[in-house]
Amino acid sequence: MENKEYLQEKINDIETQIQELNNQLSTTQHELKVIGKPIINQNIYELLQDSIRNGIDDTEFSSDDFDVELRMEYDNTVQIENLIFNSQEDMYNDIISRIDKEFRVKNEESDVE
């Protein structure tokens, strides 16, 4: 009996160690991912924020940009069942256009700007 309890305790200790190592692995993988991110300075970051904000602000929405599914309720009120924005590509292009106005892209492979 004593041997069984000893083995169970050893298993529990090993499981605890495995969990701690998994936590360390996860933390270290996250740190590696963060270190590998490209670094931009505050001015560029703010320019990106402004470009995105302006790209969204400059997007003009119309009813054609949305697919609307309506539902009639029992009390004769109409409710929106589903609302789908179907102009994502236009908004994306507006934002990218704003970013392109603010930045030049350097091709890292050939050092050509």
Give per-residue pLDDT as tens, 53-104: 888 887 788 888 888 899 998 998 999 888 888 888 888 888 888 888 888 7
**23 phi and psi angles, rounded to 5 deg:** -65, -45
Contact 64, 100 (CB under 8 A): no
End-to-end CA distance of the chain: 75
Is the pTM here over 0.75, yes or no?
no
- Supply the pLDDT for residue 111: 53
Per-position b or e across 44-63, b if 16+ CB within 10 A of its CB: eeebbeebeebbeeeeeeee
Tell me 26's DSSP state: H
pLDDT at 85: 86
The share of the chain scoring above pLDDT 90, in percent, equals: 29
pLDDT at 1: 60
Main-chain phi, psi angles of 59, to 5 degrees: -75, 125
